[in-house]
């Protein structure tokens, strides 16, 4: 899960990209980067940390230009090193920079192809650099001194033929323009917006979520469709083309459960309304299966479960209360490496309001349960605050399978519901009772916003991988590469790493 943004305008885009990345910060807190293009010259700043920490005033002043792309990251492929942060750059052809959200499932095979057949060198372990070099090779193979939109679309067609998995991409061709494209299944989101400039003409923006489009005052034009490519030239001309032979819209349903902000629209579906409907369905299941439970209060686990919890409380006819106060300066805990660090972060992130728990039967509502570390700590916090009974509910089904498309859920053994029943998970997290959303109700909750979506990417719940190229051996290799142990080793290996630098402008 990462956040990407791109701007083409007639004025400097540095501040706009910075603002867009701060709005998309929830999609990645590990690293951030911005590259701009000014009269054929690139200016880059990237490094580990939050947007506000990576970019200081002197960095922003040096990021000049009317076209640029930005990226916020947490690592699902590659390491946590600042060398792995994006955007990535390759000088040939034309000078291309690229930001990518997703994960290539055939990255290892492509690395071998790139070395032996394309004769290109890779400098990192990131699959995003693999994707960049595939795109660059396909574009270079056309042999055009000055590429046109049709040439760029031809290169994207080559990317679709060679790359498998999930990818939402924004790439910038130095001195020519910007291209965005999405994998043929449309697993990861990307939208496009337009704003009329005061001096005439239009500025265009691309982003992972519509909230970035809205916050910068752009008009949302819609989604980049699965397999589609959009080219925006430096003078603001926009061309679009379907570049994949076969497409099927299979957006990741976990975007609606947890990843996206509630004020975003993804593939025509309001994330906020989808979460309201998740609460409706969850409440109906609770009323069916928990007839004898006496719930005094419904309390959400902030922030992404609030919307669903409101509906649960409404349908159950009980009080809704904010029982936990959140420290906004702690990152998302399920993506932190190491169980001990996650446990510590939960206590730092949330603090209970005792009067909302003392002597009450409490129903806690969370968006999902992944590793179980967070919810078990929260349940204990509720008991310590004096709760009589603590019931736990999840607005999503049990997460039992790894994710291979860009979400940090790679190791099945690290998932608390893996090979466990609901009763087993309930005992493990220490709740008095536990209830999950049914998958069919989750799908219905999201599909109601756009009935044209026939099938969602639901692999973490049902183990079905829509790209059709994921088997047991692949999952085994992925698990080893991205286990908690591997992440901790990687973090230890970063000690003493040198600070990032700005291209052309010094550090």
For residues 429 and 379, what is the distance between their CA atoms, to the nearest angstrom? 7
Domain termination site, one of 435, 455, 475: 455
Report residue 112 as tokens: 């071998």
By the 8 A CB rule, do 298 and 287 touch? no
* 33 and 141 both lie in a single domain: yes
For residues 44 and 371, what is the distance between their CA atoms, to the nearest angstrom? 36
Coil, strand or helix: which one is 8? strand
* 166 and 68 both lie in a single domain: yes
For residues 70 and 28, what is the distance between their CA atoms, to the nearest angstrom? 12
How many residues are there in the chain?
507
The closest alpha carbon to 381, from 302, 324, 322, belongs to: 324
pLDDT higher than 90, residue 366: yes
* 201 and 291 both lie in a single domain: no
Binding residue positions: 304, 366-367
* 406 and 360 both lie in a single domain: yes
* 239 and 321 both lie in a single domain: no
pLDDT at 482: 67
By the 8 A CB rule, do 169 and 180 touch? yes
Instruction: Give the CATH number for residue 220.
Output: 3.60.20.10
Choose, from 2, 37, 375, 458, the residue flagged as catalytic: 2
499 pLDDT tier (thresholds 50, 70, 90): very low
pLDDT higher than 50, residue 501: no
pLDDT higher than 50, residue 50: yes
Residue 69 in any domain: the answer is yes
Residue 265 in any domain: the answer is no
Residue 488 in any domain: the answer is no
Q: What does the pLDDT average to over 433-437?
A: 98
Residue 491 in any domain: the answer is no
**Quick one: what percent of the chain has pLDDT higher than 70?**
90
Instruction: Tell whether omega for the bond before 93 is within 30 degrees of 0, i.e. cis.
Output: yes
Count of the separate structural domains present in the chain: 2
Binding residue positions for Mg(2+): 304, 366-367
331 pLDDT tier (thresholds 50, 70, 90): low
Does 375 participate in catalysis according to the annotation? no
490 pLDDT tier (thresholds 50, 70, 90): low
* 193 and 86 both lie in a single domain: yes
Q: What does the pLDDT average to over 133-138?
A: 97
- What dihedral angle (degrees, nearest 10) is formed by the CA atoms of 49, 55, 56, 57? -170
* 172 and 290 both lie in a single domain: no
Instruction: Give the CATH number for residue 292.
Output: 3.40.50.2020
Helix (H) or strand (E) holding 110: helix 107-116
Please state, as a whole number, how many other Cβ atoms lie within 10 Å of the Cβ of residue 238. 16
For residues 152 and 169, what is the distance between their CA atoms, to the nearest angstrom? 13
Per-residue pLDDT tens for 97-124?
Answer: 999 999 999 999 999 999 999 999 999 9
Residue 119 in any domain: the answer is yes
Residue 65 in any domain: the answer is yes
Q: What does the pLDDT average to over 142-164?
A: 97
pTM score: 0.91
Residue 477 in any domain: the answer is no
For residues 477 and 358, what is the distance between their CA atoms, to the nearest angstrom? 47
Quick one: DSSP state of residue 218?
A: P
More confident residue, 42 or 506: 42
pLDDT at 347: 73
pLDDT at 292: 82
* 238 and 100 both lie in a single domain: yes
Residue 444 in any domain: the answer is yes
Helices (H), 120-209: 127-140, 149-162
* 314 and 415 both lie in a single domain: yes
**Quick one: what percent of the chain has pLDDT higher than 90?**
83
By the 8 A CB rule, do 94 and 71 touch? no
Question: What is the extent of the structural domain holding 87?
Answer: 2-248
494 pLDDT tier (thresholds 50, 70, 90): very low
Per-residue pLDDT tens for 72-94?
Answer: 998 654 455 566 899 999 999 99
């Amino acid at each position: 899960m990462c956040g990407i943004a791109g701007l083409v305008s007639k004025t400097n885009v540095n501040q706009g990209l910075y603002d867009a990345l701060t709005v998309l910060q929830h999609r990645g807190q590990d690293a951030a980067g911005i590259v701009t293009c000014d009269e054929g010259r690139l200016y880059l700043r990237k490094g580990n940390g939050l947007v506000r920490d990576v970019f200081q005033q002197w960095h922003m002043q040096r990021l000049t230009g009317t076209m640029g792309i930005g990226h916020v990251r947490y690592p699902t492929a590659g390491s946590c090193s600042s060398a792995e942060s994006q955007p990535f750059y390759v000088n040939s052809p034309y000078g291309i920079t690229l930001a990518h959200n997703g994960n290539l499932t055939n990255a290892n095979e492509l690395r071998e192809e790139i070395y032996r057949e394309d004769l290109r060198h890779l400098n990192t372990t990131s699959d995003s650099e693999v994707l960049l070099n595939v795109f660059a090779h396909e574009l270079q193979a056309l042999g055009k001194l000055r590429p046109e939109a049709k040439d760029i679309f031809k290169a994207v067609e080559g990317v679709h033929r060679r790359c498998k998995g999930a990818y939402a991409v924004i790439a910038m061709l130095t001195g020519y323009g910007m291209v965005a494209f999405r994998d043929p299944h449309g697993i990861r989101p990307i939208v496009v917006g337009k704003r009329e400039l005061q001096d005439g003409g239009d500025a265009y923006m691309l982003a992972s979520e519509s909230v970035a489009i809205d916050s910068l005052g752009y008009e949302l034009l819609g989604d980049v469709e699965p397999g589609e490519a959009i080219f925006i030239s430096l003078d603001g001309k926009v061309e679009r083309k379907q570049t994949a032979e076969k497409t099927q819209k299979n957006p990741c349903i976990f975007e609606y459960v947890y990843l996206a902000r509630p004020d975003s629209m993804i593939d025509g579906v309001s994330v906020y309304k989808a979460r309201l409907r998740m609460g409706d369905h969850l409440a109906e299941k609770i009323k069916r299966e928990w007839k004898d439970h006496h719930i005094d209060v419904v309390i959400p686990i902030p922030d992404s479960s609030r919307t669903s919890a409101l509906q649960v409380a409404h349908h159950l006819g009980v009080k809704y209360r904010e029982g936990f106060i959140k420290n906004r300066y702690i990152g998302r805990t399920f993506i932190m490496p190491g169980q001990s660090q996650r446990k510590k972060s939960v206590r730092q992130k949330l603090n209970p309001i005792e009067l909302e728990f003392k002597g009450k039967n409490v129903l806690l509502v969370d968006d999902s349960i992944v590793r179980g570390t967070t919810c078990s700590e929260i349940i204990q916090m509720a008991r310590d605050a004096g709760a009589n009974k603590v019931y736990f509910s999840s607005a999503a089904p049990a997460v039992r399978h790894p994710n291979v498309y860009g979400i940090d859920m790679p190791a099945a053994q690290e998932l608390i519901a893996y090979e466990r029943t609901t009763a087993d998970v309930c005992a493990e997290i220490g709740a008095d009772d536990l209830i999950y959303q049914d998958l069919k109700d989750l799908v219905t909750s999201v599909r109601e916003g756009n009935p044209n979506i026939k099938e969602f990417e639901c692999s973490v719940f049902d183990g079905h991988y829509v790209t059709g190229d994921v088997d047991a051996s692949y999952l085994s290799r992925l698990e080893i590469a991205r286990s908690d142990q591997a992440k901790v080793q990687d973090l230890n290996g970063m000690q003493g790493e040198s600070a990032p630098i700005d291209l052309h402008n010094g550090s």
